[in-house]
Amino acid sequence: MSSSDEAIRSHVESHWEGIRERSPIYRFLFSDIVIFAATKGSVVARLKLADQHINSKGGLHGSVSAAIFDWIGGMAISSWDLRSSTGVSTDLHVTFVSSAKAGDEIEIEAKAEKVGGTLAFTRATIFKLVDGQRGPVVATGSHTKYVRI
Amino acid sequence: MSSSDEAIRSHVESHWEGIRERSPIYRFLFSDIVIFAATKGSVVARLKLADQHINSKGGLHGSVSAAIFDWIGGMAISSWDLRSSTGVSTDLHVTFVSSAKAGDEIEIEAKAEKVGGTLAFTRATIFKLVDGQRGPVVATGSHTKYVRI
Amino acid sequence: MSSSDEAIRSHVESHWEGIRERSPIYRFLFSDIVIFAATKGSVVARLKLADQHINSKGGLHGSVSAAIFDWIGGMAISSWDLRSSTGVSTDLHVTFVSSAKAGDEIEIEAKAEKVGGTLAFTRATIFKLVDGQRGPVVATGSHTKYVRI
Amino acid sequence: MSSSDEAIRSHVESHWEGIRERSPIYRFLFSDIVIFAATKGSVVARLKLADQHINSKGGLHGSVSAAIFDWIGGMAISSWDLRSSTGVSTDLHVTFVSSAKAGDEIEIEAKAEKVGGTLAFTRATIFKLVDGQRGPVVATGSHTKYVRI
């Protein structure tokens, strides 16, 4: 990671800190999330799955996957140009590909396809980590936000 | 509501009780949700928005709307034939139409378009209640689940 | 249908005529579509399925369902306030519920949930007509458009 | 491309030839599409945009983008294990990021995230080619199919 990438990662982290305080659901779910890397328009995060992420069958809760895509879409937009306001959502789509369980660690990668004057478009993937490497795709998401200030 | 509809509402309520214990995110968000009515394939619920439902800008959190559609899709499937297992999600789509804030009451209506042997398809709408009546549409969702046992 | 509704239907029909000439795919697919009714924000159309609507298995082609939702979303926006420009699409979601075949007649109903200064949100349903009445849901769609001129 | 990849590309091409004859909308839109490369679960295609792909404003028609994602999702599934039946669609989501016009050449890349015994999940991206290289993202799509035979 270049020093410039480190500045981006640091900005995304600050942005997240600012939101965390005022977002109970994110605090409930993502207190232990780690922003692993960030470059312009792209963010990678890791999360160890614990009880609060699990559904009644013992797998990653679909609502949690949706929240992850909501969260990381905003982070990817904030990484675009170090902005602190990332707009409001218009559409969020989640496809559930496979499962993961408590104790598993997941890695999420998001990419802003475009951050325009009015709309921003992000996509992301949740991977299950296997021996520290990306294994099966758990879920994919796309997230459109209205970003005109 | 006919006595048969009351049996359906009662089943959905029991189904929800069973899931609630083993679903921390639903318990965090929906402890106060009220299942207002249920008929075959259709469920109406109400929720008074409180701090845990709100984003950093003071509006209904997008992740909470997504969780609502995840939750009520399963309830609508359970109302179809009083089943207790409602499958796993394959696709969840949310469109965010307008906002609502803490203190507002919302009404959610879900409808199972089809519950087949393999897949079930539900759609739902979140309305803001204004003077106890349905006002603006806050969000719409569609939810596909794999229901083969 | 009131005289005002007839004015809306007439506007939607003119809007469609204007687009048809400059939209080869719509002309290929929808030359025989009938705009059955229109009120503010709502349009109902009917289409008899023929060879050009069918996939290699003999059922309604998924791409045709997607085109139907694209088309009728714009029609519903045009019905909102008799506008002639209905914006550009940002997100289109289609859920395929059941099938229909050549010779079947389908009815499509679209509703604009909101037409704002920047974004418009529509939803629609394709029904198979059975003895002239709405039968099974064939597909459902949601369509978000950017409408700032 | 290895000889094995060439076998995959050849299979996808044959699969496409088989469908083309019985799919009027694909024939209308994709007669000139080129399957550029294929590996297990991944297909790249190119299309020069012509009149039949354009909307009334002169840009790539949203319904055509949707058809592209419908089409290439099936091709990616066929590349998975050289199967000739690629199932029926359950959900198709398209996000429209930017535009392209007649005369532009686009490249579409699709990836099957998973092809399971029951469901298959694909994602794809449409790029505009600029000097023969991938330029702006035009649209992104996700496509879920039911593949149990």
ipTM for this prediction: 0.97
Q: What is the pLDDT of residue C58?
A: 94
- Between the alpha carbon of residue A10 and those of residues A31, A79, A80, the distances in Å are 17, 10, 13
| C-beta atoms of C93 and A93 within 8 A | yes
For residues A120-144, give the mean pLDDT. Answer: 98
Report the pLDDT averaged over residues A61-90: 97
The pLDDT, as a whole number, for residue C3 is 72
pLDDT of residue B8: 97
**Mean of all residue pLDDT scores within chain A:** 96
- pLDDT for the residue numbered A126: 98
pLDDT at D3: 72
Reading across the β-sheet that carries D133-146, which strands appear in turn?
Answer: C34-39, C42-48, C105-115, C119-130, C133-146, C88-96, D88-96, D133-146, D119-130, D105-115, D42-48, D34-39
First to last CA, chain C: 31
Q: Each residue of B65-83: pLDDT tens digit?
A: 999 999 999 999 999 999 9
% of chain A surpassing 70 pLDDT: 99
Q: Which amino acid is at C26?
A: Y
Q: What are phi and psi of C99, to 5 degrees?
A: -120, 175
* Distance in Å, alpha carbon of D49 to nearest chain A alpha carbon: 22
Check C66 against D66: CB less than 8 A apart: yes
Cβ–Cβ gap D140/A97 under 8 Å:
no
Query: B1-53 pLDDT, tens per residue?
Result: 577 999 999 999 999 999 999 999 999 999 999 999 999 999 999 999 999 99
Predicted local distance difference test score (pLDDT) of residue B2: 74
Binning pLDDT at 50, 70 and 90, where does residue D1 land?
low
Q: What is the pLDDT of residue A1?
A: 56
- Residue of B25, B55, B93 lying closest to A63 (CB–CB): B25
Under-70 pLDDT residues of chain C: 1, 149
Mean pLDDT throughout D64-73?
Answer: 98
Averaged pLDDT of chain B: 96
Nearest C-alpha of chain A: how many angstroms from C120? 10
- Model pLDDT, residue C31: 97
Q: CB B22 to CB A55 under 8 A?
A: yes
- The predicted pLDDT at position A63 comes to 98
- Whether pTM exceeds 0.95: yes
Query: What is A83-110 written as a DSSP string?
Result: -S---EEEEEEEEE----BTT-EEEEEE
- Where residue A115 falls among pLDDT bands split at 50, 70, 90? very high
Q: Which of C98, C113, C140 lies at the smallest CB-CB distance from B123?
A: C140
Question: Which ranges in C31-139 belong to alpha helices (H)?
Answer: 62-81
The answer, yes or no, to whether residue A72 has pLDDT greater than 60, is: yes
When pLDDT is cut at 50, 70 and 90, the band that residue A149 belongs to is: low
Subunit partners of chain C (3 or more CB pairs within 8 A)? A, B, D
Contact across the interface for C93 and B140, Cβ inside 8 Å:
no
Q: What's the half-sphere exposure (Cβ side, CA atoms, 13 Å) at D25? A: 32
Residues A23, A92 contacting (CB under 8 angstroms) = no
A142, D137: Cβ pair inside 8 Å?
no
Phi, psi for residue C31 in degrees, rounded to 5? -60, -30
B80-95 pLDDT, tens digit per residue, is 999 999 999 999 999 9
CB contact under 8 A, D113 and A140: yes
Mean pLDDT of A89-93: 98
D90 CB-near residues (< 8 Å, 6+ apart): B90, B91, B119, B144, C95, C96, D119, D144, D145, D146
Q: Which residues of D touch B119 (CB under 8 A)?
A: 90, 146
> Of A29, A149, A136, which is closest to residue A81 (Cα–Cα)?
A149
Q: How far is D109 from chain C (nearest CA, A)?
A: 18
CA of C34, closest CA in chain B: separation in Å?
25
pLDDT of residue D133: 98
B91: which chain D residues are within 8 Å (Cβ-Cβ)? 90-91, 93, 144
Contacts of B96 in chain A (CB under 8 A): 88-92
DSSP conformation letters of chain D? --HHHHHHHHHHHHHHHHHHTT-HHHHHHHTT-EEEEEETTEEEEEEE--GGGB-TTSBB-HHHHHHHHHHHHHHHHHHHH--S---EEEEEEEEE----BTT-EEEEEEEEEEE-SSEEEEEEEEEEEETTEEEEEEEEEEEEEE---
Chains that touch D (3 or more CB pairs under 8 A): A, B, C
Structure tokens at D120: 């298959």
How many CB atoms within 10 Å of residue D116? 11
Which residues of chain B lie closer than 8 angstroms to C140, CB-CB? 113, 121, 123, 142
Under the banding of pLDDT at 50, 70 and 90, the label for residue A50 is: very high
Residue D10: pLDDT over 70: yes
Give the span between the Cα atoms of D53 and D57, in whole angstroms.
Answer: 11
B81: part of which helix (H) or strand (E)? helix B62-81
CB contact under 8 A, A94 and B90: no
Q: What is the pLDDT of residue A2?
A: 75
Q: Find chains touching chain A: ≥3 CB pairs under 8 Å.
A: B, C, D
What is the pLDDT confidence band of residue B149, given thresholds at 50, 70 and 90? low
Query: What's residue C2's pLDDT?
Result: 75
pLDDT reading at B105 higher than 60: yes
**Closest by alpha carbon to B148, among B109, B104, B115, B102?**
B115
pLDDT at D2: 75
Amino acid at B53: H
Residue D102, pLDDT > 80, answer yes
Q: Which residues of B12-46 are buried (b: 16+ CB within 10 A; e: fewer)?
A: beebbeebeeebbbbebbbeebebebbbebbbbbb
